[in-house]
Structure 1
Amino acid sequence: MEFVIEHTWDSNLVTHDPVKVRFSPGDGGMKMEVSAPFFNDPPGPPGPSGHPFPRLWDYEVVESFFLDSTTEKYLEVEVCPHGQHLVLLLSGRGQAFQQGLPLVFTACVTAGRWIGEALLPWRYFPPNVNKMNSYAIHGSGKGRTYEALYPVPTEDLVEGQKPNFHLLEYFQDFRLQSIMGEGWIQPESDLWTGKC
């Protein structure tokens, strides 16, 4: 299942070849593959490739969020063309209770594009995922660009509004079974037990 990020967060069309995010079955989880233009702006984070990096959202990243809209529990996965990643578990809008979880992730840059592949373990997903959104960020200063698979509709924008990727009301329907098969049952996760 492939998704194409064709708009900025505020519903304008992107002016470059769009970012693509693909989900498919993986061994013990869901595979997330990214194909995106490589802007190299800002420069890569000062941390080792293949490791979590705090505040990765300040760099060039692609992010996917997986939400249970009835409880506002969600998984946020950020990946970077330089090989760093950041996984957050959130319970309530913008309320992370775990971050920096390990992730098998590789990235490579070739011919002005970057390709990344991550395996998202099932234990990272909250129960009953039913919505998702994906984002891409690049650029520095006034050239910072925030893109969204499901952007804020033009008619909902208010003067002075800034990009916010935790506007859960704009996430759209998503079922893990559409990737894994209709008979598939999501494994239970110890990471979410007892989280309000």
Structure 2
Amino acid sequence: MECTIQNEWNGAPIAHEPVTICLKPAPGGLQMDVSAPFFNDPPAPSGPVGEPFEALWDYEVVEAFFLNSEKEQYLEVELGPHGHHLVLLLSQRRNIWKECLPLFFQASISQGTWKGRALIPWEYFPPSVDQFNAYAIHGSGLKRTYEALYPIPEKEVQEGQKPDFHRLEYFKPFNFKALMGEERKEPASSLWKV
């Protein structure tokens, strides 16, 4: 499955090469490949490369959200061009109950583009994921730009409204069986036994 982020959070078209996310099966989980323009704004986080970095959303980042819409349980995976990542498990909107989970993630920067590859373990996914959205953020101050795969429709944006990536009602259907094959059995996750 490949998706391309072509709009800002409010539906306005972007003015640069789009971020592309590719999801595919991998041993033990889901591989997430990112190809994105490299803005280098803001500069790299100060934390060690390869480790989780709290509040990575304040930096240049690409994010993927996997949602069980019935229970409002979701996985948020954030990847940065400098090799930092952040994995959050949320139960109900914005309610983080596990964070900074380990993740195999590698990133490289070359000629104005960055590429990243992460392996998301099956146990990180809530049961019965049925919706998805993805985002990209870059820039500082007034140049901060928030982009969404499935943005809020322009006609629904209200004056003065700010970007909010936890508007679960704008996520779109996601079918793991179409991605993984009809014979896929959903692995049990010890993390989501709450």
User: Shorter chain as normaliser: what TM range?
Assistant: over 0.9
**Which runs of structure 1 show a deviation greater than 6 angstroms over 4 or more consecutive aligned residues?**
none
State the Cα distance separating 1:136 from its structure 2 match: 0.1
Q: Match of 2:193? A: 193
2:108 is matched with 108
The amino acid that maps onto 1:156 is: E
- State the alpha-carbon separation in 2 of the partners of residues 112 and 69 from structure 1: 37
Is 2:5 aligned against 1:35?
no
SS at match of 1:179: helix
Matches within 5 A, 1:156-195: 156-194=156-194
Mark the runs of 5 or more structure 1 residues left unpaired by the alignment.
none
Q: Greater CA deviation, 100-109 or 179-188?
A: 179-188
Distance 2:15 2:100 in 1: 32
Distance (whole Å) between structure 2 residues aligned to residue 191 and residue 56 of structure 1 = 22
TM-score (norm 1): 0.98
My pick for the range that moved more, 2-11 or 175-184, is: 175-184
Query: Can you list the C-alpha shifts for 1:140-193, whole angstroms capped at 9, x where unaligned?
Result: 000000000000001111111000000000000001112110110110101000
Partner of 1:139: 139
Count of residues paired in the alignment: 194
For 1:75, the aligned partner's letter is: L
Structure 2 residue aligned with 1:21: 21
Unaligned runs of 5+ in 2: none
SS in 1 for 2:191: helix
User: How far off its partner does 1:27 sit?
Assistant: 1.1
Aligned residue type for 1:24? K
CA distance in 1: counterparts of 2:30 and 2:177, whole angstroms: 11
Alignment-mate amino acid for residue 11 of structure 1: G
1:6: how far off?
A: 0.2
Equivalent residue for 1:96? 96
1:78 alignment partner AA: E
Output the CA distance in 1 between the equivalents of 2:153 and 2:95. Answer: 24
Q: Offset at 1:109?
A: 0.3
Q: Which amino acid aligns with 2:93?
A: R
Matched with 1:47 is: 47
**RMSD between aligned residues:** 0.5
Equivalent in the alignment of 2:77: 77
Q: Classify the secondary structure of the residue corresponding to 2:45.
A: coil
What secondary structure, in the 3-state scheme, does the structure 2 residue paired with 1:10 have?
coil
- When normalised by structure 2's length, the TM-score is 0.99
